[in-house]
């Protein structure tokens, strides 16, 4: 049996976001123990020219939800970037996960050749569905989840590979 576009997308996105929430929990526990405010933790960066933790969470959620929507051929739901607390960051992950669960295999399977066009700051991007998923969405979701993990790890949270990978 071959792997379907749905199997390679929605369940993978949901697991990545669940693991991101877990990593965020461990980071929050560390911050609380060290008396670091939500605002400071959410604005932490690895280097000055990288986006802060909260943007990593927002982008991971957006890449997953917009990716699923575009593969399904529907207009992506928009989430306002206004989170300022860890609780709000968790709410965003929960909203994104709830939205992802609305997509069915019937909507996404067969999207391998669907034309997907994006307008980015750098210009237009054109993909077929499979290239969009495998070469753009999945790498971006994991890049931003990994960067969030790294920010929290650098901040001193006790995190390991098992925290990032979660349970299969």
Q: pLDDT tens for residues 58-90?
A: 999 999 999 999 999 999 998 999 999 999 999
In a domain, 1, yes or no: no
Q: How far apart are CA 133 and CA 63, in angstroms?
A: 10
Domain count across the chain: 1
Nearest 5°: CA angle at 8, between 7 and 10?
A: 70
* pLDDT tens string 26-38: 999 999 999 999 9
Q: How far apart are CA 102 and CA 168, in angstroms?
A: 22
Segment 94-104 shows an average pLDDT of: 98
In a domain, 68, yes or no: yes
Domain residues for the domain of 99 are 10-165
pLDDT at 168 over 80: no
* pLDDT tens string 129-153: 999 999 999 999 999 999 999 999 9
CATH number at residue 77: 1.20.120.450
pLDDT at 1 over 70: no
Q: How far apart are CA 42 and CA 38, in angstroms?
A: 6
* Residue 81: partners with Cβ closer than 8 Å, 6 or more residues away: 55, 58
């Amino acid at each position: 049996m071959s792997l379907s576009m749905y199997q390679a997308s929605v369940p993978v996105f949901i697991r990545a976001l669940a693991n991101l929430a877990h990593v965020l929990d461990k980071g929050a526990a560390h911050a609380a123990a060290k008396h670091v405010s939500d605002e400071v933790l959410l604005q932490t960066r690895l280097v000055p020219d990288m986006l802060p933790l909260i943007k990593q969470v927002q982008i991971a959620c957006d890449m997953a939800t917009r990716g699923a929507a575009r593969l399904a051929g529907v207009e992506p739901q928009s989430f306002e970037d206004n989170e300022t607390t860890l609780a709000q960051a968790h709410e965003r992950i929960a909203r994104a996960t709830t939205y992802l669960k609305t997509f069915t295999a019937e909507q996404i399977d067969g999207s391998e050749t669907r034309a997907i066009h994006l307008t980015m700051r750098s210009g237009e991007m054109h993909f077929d569905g499979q290239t969009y998923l495998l070469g753009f969405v999945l790498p971006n979701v994991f890049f931003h989840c990994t960067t969030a993990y790294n920010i929290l790890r650098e901040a001193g949270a006790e995190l390991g590979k098992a925290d990032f990978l979660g349970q299969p």
